């Protein structure tokens, strides 16, 4: 007499989404089944397809459908500068300023000991390999100015300096505790100009 099992399984599966508890998973399941079966089918397909084709660019680590993404493959970009960001959305924010023409490295996260994300989980070895490939003259750290972003910048800076690579940090024009994603592009551009060597 209880919930049909396929509905239970769906409600449980929706809880893998960040910030979705049992009540909102139930609400989402009812909504999809009752009001938006087409959207639900599209979501199932999109998830399956994304899992199948998306991988990480072997150069910058962002999501990409090829071995190397278009940006990393472009001869237009200045290969001597490598800007480190936490997420693809941060990269997009920097690109919107049109004031940076180097390459990127996307960490896909930040150091977060409480969530069990240390240097190994963050894949800092892959990053070091990229940063020390010979072409990079300067690494610009553009992680967020949160505690975790600062700790990440600090660790990367130490690792690079011990390898003799020039490191800079975008300027603290961004409010302490603020995130790139919620900052206007003028402020971000200013922070790039005022980066200081570490």
Whether the CB-CB separation of 84 and 143 falls below 8 Å is answered with yes
Min separation Cβ 198 and Zn ion, Å:
24
Q: Whole-angstrom Cα distance, residue 131 to residue 104?
A: 10
Q: Whole-angstrom Cα distance, residue 123 to residue 159?
A: 13
Q: Which is nearer to Zn ion, 69 or 156 (CB)?
A: 69
Rule CB under 5 A: choose which of 25, 29, 72, 82 binds Zn ion. Answer: 72
Check residue 92 for interaction with a second copy (CB under 8 A): yes
Q: Whole-angstrom Cα distance, residue 62 to residue 42?
A: 24
Number of C-beta neighbours around residue 194 at 10 A: 13
Check residue 114 for interaction with a second copy (CB under 8 A): no
Q: Which is nearer to a second copy, 88 or 165 (CB)?
A: 88
Please choose which of Zn ion, a second copy, none residue 59 contacts, taking the beta carbon within 5 to 8 angstroms, the exact cut-off set by kind.
Zn ion
Q: Whole-angstrom Cα distance, residue 62 to residue 46?
A: 19
What the block records as the tokens of 185 is 């592009």
Q: Which is nearer to a second copy, 39 or 158 (CB)?
A: 39
Site for a second copy in 32-51 (CB under 8 A): 32-37, 39-51
Task: Give, as one character, the DSSP assignment of residue 32.
Answer: H
Rule CB under 5 A: choose which of 28, 32, 60, 160 binds Zn ion. Answer: 60
Rule CB under 8 A: choose which of 4, 75, 113, 164 binds a second copy. Answer: 4
Q: Whole-angstrom Cα distance, residue 43 to residue 25?
A: 15
Please choose which of a second copy, Zn ion, none residue 193 contacts, taking the beta carbon within 5 to 8 angstroms, the exact cut-off set by kind.
none
């Amino acid at each position: 007499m209880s919930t049909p099992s396929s509905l239970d399984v769906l409600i449980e599966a929706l809880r893998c989404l960040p910030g979705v508890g049992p009540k909102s998973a139930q609400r989402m399941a009812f909504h999809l089944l009752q009001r938006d079966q087409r959207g639900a089918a599209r979501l199932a397909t999109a998830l399956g397809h994304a899992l199948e084709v998306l991988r990480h660019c072997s150069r910058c680590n962002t999501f990409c459908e090829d071995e190397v993404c278009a940006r990393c493959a472009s001869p237009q970009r200045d290969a001597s500068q490598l800007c480190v960001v936490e997420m693809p959305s941060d990269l997009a924010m920097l690109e919107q300023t049109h004031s940076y023409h180097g390459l990127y490295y996307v960490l896909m996260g930040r150091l977060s000991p409480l969530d069990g994300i240390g240097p190994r989980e963050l894949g800092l070895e892959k990053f070091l390999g990229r940063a020390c490939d010979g072409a990079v003259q300067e690494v610009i750290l553009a992680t967020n100015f949160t505690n975790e972003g600062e700790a990440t910048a600090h660790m990367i800076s130490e690792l690079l300096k011990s390898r003799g690579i020039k490191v800079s940090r975008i300027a603290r024009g961004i409010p302490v505790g603020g995130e790139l994603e919620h900052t206007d592009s003028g402020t971000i551009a200013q922070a790039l100009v005022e980066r200081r060597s570490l």
